Amino acid sequence: MTATQDVLGTVDRLRRQVSDLHGELTRNELVVWTAGNISARVPGRDLMVIKPSGVSYDELTPENMVLTDLFGTAVDGGGSPSSDTDAHAYVYRHMPAVHGVVHTHSTYATAWAARGEAIPCVLTMMADEFGGEIPVGPFALIGDDSIGRGIVDILDGHRSTAILMKNHGVFTIGKDARSAVKSAVLCEEVARTVHISRQLGELLPIPQTDIDHLYQRYQNVYGQK
């Protein structure tokens, strides 16, 4: 098998994975209508696979996923990529370890974003997955690198794989698309739980050393070998 055949096989696999993973966004009620998208980097190539713009989740197929370069230009002659493609592409250009990006406007996380407030780490689930608070990024307009730069400025070197963009929504990153989806699911869950808890009184803080302990353990021990 030639290198070209090899990358084609990888792209086909990623098209299917990215298409299928959008089902987790609807199943977990992170999106309404067409307002959320997932991408995956093509390993070793300056390419990514991303949702097409404005297409309903139940019409997504491996074939209508869009293959773009890392500046968001479609390279496969198909449809228009997601209107958030620039942000995804910027992340892939500047964070080489990131192989998956997810964007949603999930309700509770976006509610924190509309106040520009970070989610404090008061749950062991947050310590496990995010290693501390979920931070806030700037208000940024769509149409240039502003959103991507806002994401990278905050998340590069940060433990959290999720960021709340002011007045906008959530971006999450991961070592692959599935990890980024997991981050998006857990981000909404902790956003909801912490919001609800704080409605009726003061939250109990978790000491930083305990947060560190939980984070280290979860990143190294959890799951099947």
What token pair was written down for 13? 């696999």
Build a one-symbol-per-residue string for 1-30: x at contacts with a copy of itself by CB under 8 A, - elsewhere. Answer: ---------------------------x--
Q: Which two tokens stand for residue 60?
A: 């997504």
- Angle made by CA atoms 153, 109, 57, in degrees to the nearest 5: 100
C-beta closer to a copy of itself: residue 92 or 112: 112
Question: Which of residues 175 and 198 has its CB atom nearest to a copy of itself in the complex?
Answer: 198
Active site residue 222: yes
The residue range among 13-21, 38-46, 89-97, 160-168 that interacts with a copy of itself, by the rule CB under 8 A, is 160-168
Out of 61, 80, 208, 219, the only residue in the binding site for a copy of itself (CB under 8 A) is: 80
- Whole-number Å distance between alpha carbons of 174 and 165: 17
Closest CA to 84 of 192, 164, 26, 170: 170
Six-digit token pair at 219? 């990143």
DSSP 8-state assignment for residue 98: -
Measured CA to CA in angstroms, residue 21 lies from 14, 24, 31, 59, 182 at distances of 10, 5, 13, 13, 10
Of 142, 175, 180, 219, the residue at the interface with a copy of itself (CB under 8 A) is 142
Positions annotated as catalytic residues are: 128, 222
Chain contacts with a copy of itself (rule: CB under 8 A)? 28, 32-33, 35, 52-55, 79-80, 83, 105, 107-108, 110-112, 114-117, 122-125, 139, 141-143, 166-169, 182, 185-186, 189, 192-204, 206, 210, 213-214, 217, 221-225
